[in-house]
Amino acid sequence: AQSVTQPDIHITVSEGASLELRCNYSYGATPYLFWYVQSPGQGLQLLLKYFSGDTLVQGIKGFEAEFKRSQSSFNLRKPSVHWSDAAEYFCAVGMEYGNKLVFGAGTILRVKS
């Protein structure tokens, strides 16, 4: 069965510093990959997604992610974090087109000024 691992439960970065959130998946084929952000008590907002093609994906709010097949990873990055980026971030994997998603445990990002 497919699984998603986000090894960091909490990450704290200074405002203006760079950010990388890790995501590893377990699946035999190339999955459909997503990053979502959730503010407390809110739904999920899509940051970016990867289906095929260029392995470096640009998303909203200045985020990007890189798919590395050899490492089964899809890490999320941002060169300069803003205080408003503080939230919880979820990596998700879909096996097939339009099929259900499996979510990682999430990473809570704290931004210190």
Partner 1 sequence: GAVVSQHPSRVICKSGTSVKIECRSLDFQATTMFWYRQFPKQSLMLMATSNEGSKATYEQGVEKDKFLINHASLTLSTLTVTSAHPEDSSFYICSAREGAGYTFGSGTRLTVV
**What are the residues binding partner 1 (CB under 8 A)?**
32, 34, 36, 41-46, 49, 51, 90, 97-98, 100-106
Smallest separation (angstroms) from partner 1 to the CB of 16: 27
Q: Which is nearer to partner 1, 42 or 55 (CB)?
A: 42
Matching residue, tokens 């260029």:
54
Distances in whole angstroms, Cα of residue 39 to Cα of each of 9, 44, 87: 15, 8, 5
- Residue from 56, 40, 36, 7 nearest 102 by CA: 36
Smallest distance, Å, CB 106 to partner 1? Answer: 5
Minimum CB distance to partner 1 smaller for 81 or for 106: 106
